[in-house]
């Protein structure tokens, strides 16, 4: 009894819940919520496979609270990203750096890197995560591939829908975790540009894995945490706010990211640093920076501080 009491108290200390969350937790466990919350409760409770009901009450409560807290955290994170999109909507491509002369060159090169890494052709069925304004959707559509473009923010999809595409493009205004299970094992390639660093990988990578056909690819271009500017934007609050970096944005160290991808079932993982052409580069200096980039990306240690990573991973054949 003393041990159970100690575990129970320890559980509440570790959970770090405020009084309001404690009230919410008690209602969640007892089911005293409105219809929407009760449906969420049923879905979450069904998902706690590792916590069986024949165990003591303390262990079960801990499992329920953890699953509930994870769900609330993810929903809050997605809500913050939606609000962040409202700030971007007036000039998203300018804010992201894709509208400048150097930015446009970077975008075309990045699209080509994604196309080549993912082996996208006119026969490919692809899913783009976080399509934003459709900038990369438009560039990749030139391959003739079928693209389903998923985006959380309605304002950005409204911009994307006005563009002209070279192949069949379908837009989805939803987060990836809510895509119907009928789409599992449906896509040759799941891809995106500067998206994964907004997401909780432990939650979303399994979702992406399920959507890819066996033998298919996951390909993304994402920020490199070893790049000095990116490190400052992610770790110094003053700079984060000045550059408009959202609260949940991060960046990746390639070795730890590779380990994460392998742990989620992916194989043949490669993560290559690239990109030294900064979007604010004056137009007259662009040719020189492009030449410098060719050499810098080949020099060990120097390449490690490049602006981005090109991430490629494969879903093994024979997996579901």
Could you give the percent of the chain with pLDDT greater than 70?
71
- Does residue 63 carry a pLDDT above 60? no
The residues, any chain, with a CB within 8 Å of residue 114's CB and separated by 6 or more, are 120, 136, 140, 191, 193, 219, 220, 221, 310
71 vs 44, 66, 77, 184, 253, CA distance in Å? 8, 9, 10, 21, 26
Q: Give 174's DSSP letter.
A: S
| Structural domains of the chain ordered from first start | 2-80 (no CATH), 89-314 (3.40.50.150)
Torsion of CA 171, 176, 182, 184, to 10 degrees: 120
Residues 258-272: pLDDT tens digits? 999 999 999 999 999
Q: Token digits for 92?
A: 């998203």
pTM (two decimals): 0.74
Residues 129-169: pLDDT tens digits? 999 999 999 999 999 999 999 998 888 999 999 999 999 99
């Amino acid at each position: 009894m003393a041990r159970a009491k100690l575990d129970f108290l320890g559980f509440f200390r570790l959970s770090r819940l405020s009084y309001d969350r404690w009230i919410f937790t008690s209602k969640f466990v007892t089911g005293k919520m409105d219809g929407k919350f009760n449906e969420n409760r049923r879905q979450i409770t069904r998902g706690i496979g590792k916590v069986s009901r024949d165990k003591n009450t303390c262990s079960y409560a801990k499992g329920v609270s953890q699953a509930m807290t994870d769900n609330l955290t993810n929903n809050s994170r997605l809500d913050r990203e939606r609000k962040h999109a409202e700030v971007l909507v007036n000039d998203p491509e300018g804010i992201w750096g894709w509208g400048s002369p150097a930015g446009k060159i970077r975008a075309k090169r990045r699209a080509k890197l994604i196309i080549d890494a993912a082996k996208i052709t006119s026969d490919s069925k692809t899913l783009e995560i976080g399509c934003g304004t459709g900038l990369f959707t438009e560039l990749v559509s030139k391959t003739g591939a079928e693209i389903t473009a998923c985006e959380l923010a309605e304002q950005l999809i409204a911009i994307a829908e006005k563009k002209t595409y070279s192949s069949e493009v379908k837009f989805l205004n939803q987060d990836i975790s809510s895509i119907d299970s009928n789409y599992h094992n449906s896509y040759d390639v799941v891809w995106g540009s500067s998206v994964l660093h907004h997401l909780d990988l432990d939650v979303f990578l399994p979702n992406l894995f399920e959507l890819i056909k066996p033998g298919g690819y996951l390909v993304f271009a994402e920020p490199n945490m070893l790049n000095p500017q990116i490190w400052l934007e992610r770790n110094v609050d003053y700079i984060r706010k000045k550059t408009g970096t959202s609260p949940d944005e991060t960046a990746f160290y390639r070795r730890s990211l590779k380990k994460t991808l392998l742990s989620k079932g992916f194989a043949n993982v490669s993560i290559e640093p690239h990109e030294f052409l900064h979007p604010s580069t004056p137009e007259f200096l662009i040719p020189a920076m492009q030449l410098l980039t060719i050499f810098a990306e080949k020099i060990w240690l120097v390449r490690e501080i490049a602006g981005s990573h090109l991430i490629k991973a494969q879903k093994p054949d024979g997996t579901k």
